[in-house]
């Protein structure tokens, strides 16, 4: 069995804590690797390497940083197949989905390559006699990222490329379930010329997380994961004086109006609910069908769902892979059986699905629940699996009230041909990301990603301009160069004359 390593100070470092976690192949259910869990001392070692590196990296030329990032972009692009294979082996998602993840992560690397434009300051001349005022942005120092299992490459690339481009050094704690992609990204960064200690990767569990949150030399923490953990990260990080952006969970709704193209809506519901086996914070998990749209829409969804090919992620024929662990698979299945017991109609039941020759894999088929009501567990909880609920409402106003009553506000979508209705929706719905006939409205790299309400804790969304502001702090400089003829003493209050 392969034992993985940390990446500290520009090189692989074997774990010394004696604690390890299993890394499974979700398609077979077999443990293929073990990952070391960092002790407090090992986290401290990574932070010390990052702090030492910041002494020179934080004052390095923007031209040097961007040159390294351009090289890094080339290397990640050249190794995208290898990175995708690592993702598929540990996460289980199909290869095409893994490749798409790498491509979306590269968008943020490309944004970071243009950091010189993002860090331009402002200047006001002659605000008073011979007085100029300028504003600049500077790095924070050592910053950290704690990332989830569902996007082992993309979410780390949402964080560290921008952070290091801004002059910070970085400590990454990836999910212990999917550690290999993050390690590969660090290797490639070193190959691109990133100085030792600028990017460090420590694997671990709650011990590592808590040390990151309390370490006095870490200035800021980025997190993506479930809402309960996001609350924990934000509460404890800010209590220790850190800047925190913590992105939590979601229950994303897709509103379908009677005038919508139902074929487009059905295709979109399939893609958004069942892609990546539903293990996406931007997955659509609730369709809100207005008026008489529910019956024909459900039939179209069922027809398409019956044609999906579920299998190992490395099989080119597979369109959906397994879930991350057996425990999670069983939890997702419990929501389907529980929905039926609570009065929902189980239009499609994927709980008995398996794959021949891979019976020990973490398999579940697609499930579709009709006549769901807000009181049911399948509606109230984030399931994080291939389960789509349909809620029937009579009017647009009833739909908006239902959606805005949700404690989450990550992403949402409306399907309609009516521009006026779409405009009302984008202004009235309480969510941070909105799609109009777009089921998964994840913003491009130069716009920021983030939700509202219990989907985000902190003041900054991730990447885009918000990301640059999160990883820097502003400074205003007021300058006066006296004219040789100036002189004398004046104790009066300065004026703007």
As a whole number of angstroms, the distance between CA 213 and CA 229 comes to 12
In the predicted model, is pLDDT for residue 189 greater than 90? Answer: yes
As a whole number of angstroms, the distance between CA 130 and CA 485 comes to 12
Confidence class for position 136, pLDDT limits 50, 70, 90: very high
Q: pLDDT by residue (tens digit) across 395-444?
A: 999 999 999 999 999 999 999 999 999 999 999 999 999 999 999 999 99
Q: pLDDT by residue (tens digit) across 240-280?
A: 999 999 999 999 999 999 999 999 999 999 999 999 999 99
- Tell me the backbone φ, ψ of residue 67, rounded to 5 degrees: -60, -45
Residue 150 DSSP label: S
In the predicted model, is pLDDT for residue 391 greater than 80? Answer: yes
Q: Give the pLDDT of residue 476.
A: 97
The label of the residue with tokens 């490639």 reads: 188
Confidence class for position 488, pLDDT limits 50, 70, 90: low
Q: Give the pLDDT of residue 435.
A: 98
Radius of gyration of the chain from Cα atoms?
25
Find all residues with CB under 8 Å of 157, minimum gap 6, and list them.
76, 105, 106, 108, 109, 185
Confidence class for position 495, pLDDT limits 50, 70, 90: low
Question: Residue 316, by phi and psi: left (phi above 0), alpha (psi -120 to 50) or beta?
Answer: alpha
Percent of the chain with pLDDT over 90: 96
In the predicted model, is pLDDT for residue 281 greater than 70? Answer: yes
Mean of pLDDT values over 177-205: 98
As a whole number of angstroms, the distance between CA 116 and CA 228 comes to 37
H/E stretch holding 100: helix 95-113
In the predicted model, is pLDDT for residue 322 greater than 90? Answer: yes
Mean of pLDDT values over 291-320: 97
On average, the pLDDT of the chain sits at 96
In the predicted model, is pLDDT for residue 494 greater than 80? Answer: no
The label of the residue with tokens 């925190």 reads: 244
Q: Give the pLDDT of residue 441.
A: 95
H/E stretch holding 341: helix 326-341
Q: Are 382 and 346 in contact (CB under 8 A)?
A: no
Percent of the chain with pLDDT over 70: 98
In the predicted model, is pLDDT for residue 496 greater than 80? Answer: no
Q: Give the pLDDT of residue 91.
A: 98
Q: Give the pLDDT of residue 487.
A: 62
Mean of pLDDT values over 315-338: 98
Which one from 113, 166, 281, 378 is the annotated catalytic residue? 281
Confidence class for position 483, pLDDT limits 50, 70, 90: confident
In the predicted model, is pLDDT for residue 497 greater than 60? Answer: no
Q: Are 121 and 134 in contact (CB under 8 A)?
A: yes
The label of the residue with tokens 């090189």 reads: 11
Q: Give the pLDDT of residue 482.
A: 80
Confidence class for position 186, pLDDT limits 50, 70, 90: very high
Q: Is 281 a catalytic residue?
A: yes
């Amino acid at each position: 069995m392969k034992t993985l390593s940390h990446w500290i100070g520009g090189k692989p470092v074997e774990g010394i804590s004696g604690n390890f976690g299993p890394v499974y192949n979700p398609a077979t259910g077999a443990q293929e690797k073990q990952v070391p869990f960092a002790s407090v001392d090992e986290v401290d070692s990574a932070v010390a390497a990052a702090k030492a590196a910041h002494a020179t990296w934080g004052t390095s030329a923007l031209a040097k940083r961007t040159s390294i990032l351009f090289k890094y972009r080339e290397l990640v692009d050249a190794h995208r197949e290898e990175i995708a294979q690592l993702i598929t082996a540990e996460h289980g998602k199909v290869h095409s989905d893994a490749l798409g993840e790498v491509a979306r992560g590269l968008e943020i690397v490309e944004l970071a390559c243009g950091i010189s434009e993002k860090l331009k300051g402002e200047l006001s001349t002659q605000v008073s006699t011979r007085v100029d005022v300028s504003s600049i942005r500077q790095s924070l120092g050592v910053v950290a990222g704690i990332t989830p299992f569902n996007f082992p490459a993309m979410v780390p690339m949402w964080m560290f490329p921008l952070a290091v481009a801004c002059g910070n050094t970085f400590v990454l704690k990836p999910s212990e379930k999917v550690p290999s992609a993050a390690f590969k990204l660090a290797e490639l960064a070193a190959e691109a010329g990133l100085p030792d200690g600028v990017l460090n990767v420590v694997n671990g569990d709650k011990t590592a997380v808590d040390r990151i949150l309390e370490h006095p030399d870490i200035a800021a923490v980025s997190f993506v994961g479930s809402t309960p953990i996001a609350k924990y990260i934000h509460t404890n990080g800010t209590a220790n004086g850190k800047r925190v952006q913590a992105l939590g969970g979601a229950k994303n709704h897709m509103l379908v109006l009677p005038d919508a193209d139902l074929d487009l809506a059905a295709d979109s519901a399939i893609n958004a609910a069942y892609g990546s086996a539903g293990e996406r914070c931007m997955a659509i998990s609730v369709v809100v069908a207005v008026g008489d749209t529910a019956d024909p829409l459900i039939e179209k969804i069922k027809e398409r769902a019956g044609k999906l090919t579920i299998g190992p992620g490395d099989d080119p024929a597979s369109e959906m892979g397994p879930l991350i662990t057996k425990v999670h698979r069983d939890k997702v299945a419990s929501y389907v059986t529980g929905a039926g017991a609570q009065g929902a109609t189980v239009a499609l039941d994927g709980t008995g699905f398996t794959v021949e020759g891979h019976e020990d894999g973490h398999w579940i088929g697609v499930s579709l629940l009709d006549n769901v009501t807000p009181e049911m567990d399948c509606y109230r909880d984030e399931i994080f699996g291939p389960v789509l609920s349909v809620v029937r409402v009579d009017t647009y106003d009833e739909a908006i009230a239902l959606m805005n009553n949700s404690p989450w506000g990550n992403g949402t979508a409306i399907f309609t041909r009516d521009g006026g209705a779409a405009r009302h929706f984008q202004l009235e719905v309480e969510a941070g990301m909105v799609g109009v006939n777009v089921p998964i409205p994840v913003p491009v790299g130069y716009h920021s990603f983030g939700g509202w309400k219990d989907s985000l804790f902190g003041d900054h969304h991730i990447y885009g301009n918000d990301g640059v502001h999160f990883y820097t702090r502003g400074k205003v400089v007021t300058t006066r160069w006296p004219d040789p003829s100036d002189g004398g003493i004046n104790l009066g209050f300065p004026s703007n004359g």
